[in-house]
Amino acid sequence: MFQSQLMQGQRILVTGGGTGLGQAMAEQFLALGADIAICGRRKSVCDATAQAWRAKFPERRIDTFGVDIRIAQNVEEMVEALWESGGLTGLVNNAAGNFISPTESLSPRGFDAIANIVFDMLTLFFLFVAAGHNVSLGILFAGYGLPLILGKMAFLLPGGVGVIEGSMVALYDSLQVPNAVSVVVILGYRLFSFWLPTLLGFAAATYLSGKSSGTKGE
């Protein structure tokens, strides 16, 4: 489990924070001591979520905004209001600005953004199945999203090493996943998603560098 004041002094904006995964992440930030701002196209939904949080976390600051992130002017007005009221220390881009696009018009970066999440989630899901533990989609998403954010905040550590593994295990433990299952699954996931590609990349780079030097010497 995380320390209850781990994120004290932080103020995080979670886009799309009124429902779903954004709501789950924002609530966890509140539980860890952070102040929160959330936005969504339906401000009434964000307000209802914030009202429930204020009863649960009376000492936290919670701000809501009705914003469609696809409209630049709305985003600029929200950012201006946030900075006039103290600024931010973090941002979670959870809301999707989705649009219908033919496959041939989808950019490589757009495909990567979707494919990386899908493949990561499938890897975690099948590792949980292999470990003999059925996990719900909500728990799978909650345990996947927040640790990756914490890992990116620990920018001095390559790939968030140590931070992601530890926080994922702790979060899944808090979501009632047995500790032994969490440890095995997360170590397996990080082996396939980070350690193995990293080691193979270093080996390939060393081999190609040596081959290139030999070619130049000839």
- Whether residues 111 and 207 fall in one domain: yes
Has residue 20 got a pLDDT over 90? Answer: no
- Whether residues 141 and 169 fall in one domain: yes
Instruction: Select from 204, 165, 202 the least CA-distant residue to 182.
Output: 165
- Whether residues 113 and 180 fall in one domain: yes
Q: Which domain holds residue 135?
A: 107-213
Scan for tokens 């401000």, then name that residue: 43
Instruction: Select from 30, 117, 85 the least CA-distant residue to 125.
Output: 117
* pTM exceeds 0.75 for this model: no
- Whether residues 15 and 81 fall in one domain: yes
Q: Using an 8 Å Cβ cutoff, are 205 and 184 in contact? A: no
- Whether residues 42 and 133 fall in one domain: no
Has residue 143 got a pLDDT over 60? Answer: yes
Higher per-residue confidence, 51 vs 167: 51
Mean pLDDT (the chain, rounded): 81
Residue 100 falls inside a structural domain: no
Classify burial at 41, counting beta carbons within 10 Å of its beta carbon; exposed 0-12, middle 13-18, buried 19 or more: middle
CA angle 54, 69, 124 (to 5 degrees): 75
Q: Which CATH number goes with the domain that contains 82?
A: 3.40.50.720
